[in-house]
Structure 1
Amino acid sequence: MTSPKFSAAWSLILVSEGRVTCASNGVEALECLKHNVPDLIITDWMMPLMDGRALCRQMKAQSELAHVPILVHWAAPPADVLQPDWNVCLQKPATMSLFLTTVSNLCTRAV
């Protein structure tokens, strides 16, 4: 996931809009998803234990999670992605306006 300061900043911004659950890595995220299916997943590409690509693949392979939109936030996109398992990617650093607009659009489509 992103650095604790970065993650905390985005969480504070998003928490004012609704409930936010944070995970430190992809493994922890999948465990959280067993108990709560969110309206949107925001993940970093580079994380310990399970990276963003593996998290997206595992989510899309599960029928109860396959419909959840995914926003991937990364420093540099991988060159070998032909069919992504996510809806949108934003390159770091994304502006707050772009980030919040993207989150809003993805949540609106999910409803």
Structure 2
Amino acid sequence: MYAIIETGGEQLRVEPGRFYDIRHFASLKSKNLSSNTKILIYRVLMIRNETTINIGQPWLKNAVIKGRILHSHLENKITVYKMNSKKKTRRKFGHRQNSARFVVDSICLDGKDL
């Protein structure tokens, strides 16, 4: 059993009991991303359970992914280097993206855990 969800500008294939890294949750502020914060994701695009496949247009109604945040962290730093040739202009800076790791507890459709 698995589901395809949309969160953080990405589409993910999620399964119960596994953890995933997401760049950002739009509805949660960084101060609310503490450990064991329960989350509900309503943007479910598809659910596959045994032999049945439910596809939304664009999202499934009455479908919820229940999970909790394990921890939030910063990803590895990327270095951006900008240079204009023949102008002696150089600029170097870095950036670290906020990220959160969450675990999927259950997939619900029409109020029933699958």
TM (norm. structure 1) is 0.22
Greater relative contact order, per chain length (Cα 8 Å cut-off, separation 6+): 2
TM score, norm. by length of structure 2: 0.22
Structure with more strand by fraction: 2
Q: Compare the two structures and name the one with the higher helix fraction.
A: 1
